[in-house]
């Protein structure tokens, strides 16, 4: 049974309610509600970094995509947001969550990312 959760200013679709747990080797992207404060801090940091000139954020281990989607929605268009997920089923869920929230973010799988990314995210500058 699919579930819809809200965090910050976004809504995230989960494949099922039992995915309220930490990472695992099976299943679709998980959602860990105890990490909300961590995501809150990441959004605040990215807002500050964008004001200081950073222009890119990479969510390298996306699961549901919630971190990258929150940054895209709450920080705004000052940052280019790329969201990477290696599991095909979770990657599809990330794309649905991007569309659900109407944000400008790009979803990638590792193979696609290898061909696309030619610059470093170390400094956030492109």
Q: Which domains does the chain have, with CATH numbers?
A: 3-116 (3.40.50.150)
Q: Is the pTM of this model over 0.85?
A: no
Residue pair 62/110 in contact by the 8 Å Cβ criterion: no
In the predicted structure, residue 42 carries a pLDDT above the cut 60? yes
| Better pLDDT: 47 or 116 | 47
Q: What is the CA radius of gyration of the chain?
A: 14
82-115 per-residue burial string, b: 16 or more CB within 10 A, e: under 16: bbbbebeebbbbbbebbeebebebbbbbeeebee
pLDDT at residue number 78: 78
pLDDT at residue number 66: 97
β-partners of residue 82 are 58, 106
pLDDT at residue number 1: 66
């Amino acid at each position: 049974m699919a579930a819809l959760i809200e965090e910050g200013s976004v809504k995230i679709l989960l494949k099922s309610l039992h995915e309220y747990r930490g990472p695992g080797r099976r299943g679709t992207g998980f959602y860990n509600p105890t990490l909300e404060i961590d995501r809150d801090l990441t959004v605040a940091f990215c807002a500050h970094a964008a004001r200081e000139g950073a222009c890119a954020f990479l969510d390298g281990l996306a699961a549901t995509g919630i971190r990258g989607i929150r940054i895209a929605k709450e920080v705004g268009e000052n940052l280019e947001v790329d969201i990477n997920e290696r599991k095909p089923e979770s990657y599809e869920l990330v794309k649905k969550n991007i569309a659900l929230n109407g944000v400008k973010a790009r979803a990638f799988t590792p193979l696609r990312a290898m061909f696309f990314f030619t610059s470093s995210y170390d400094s956030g500058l492109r």
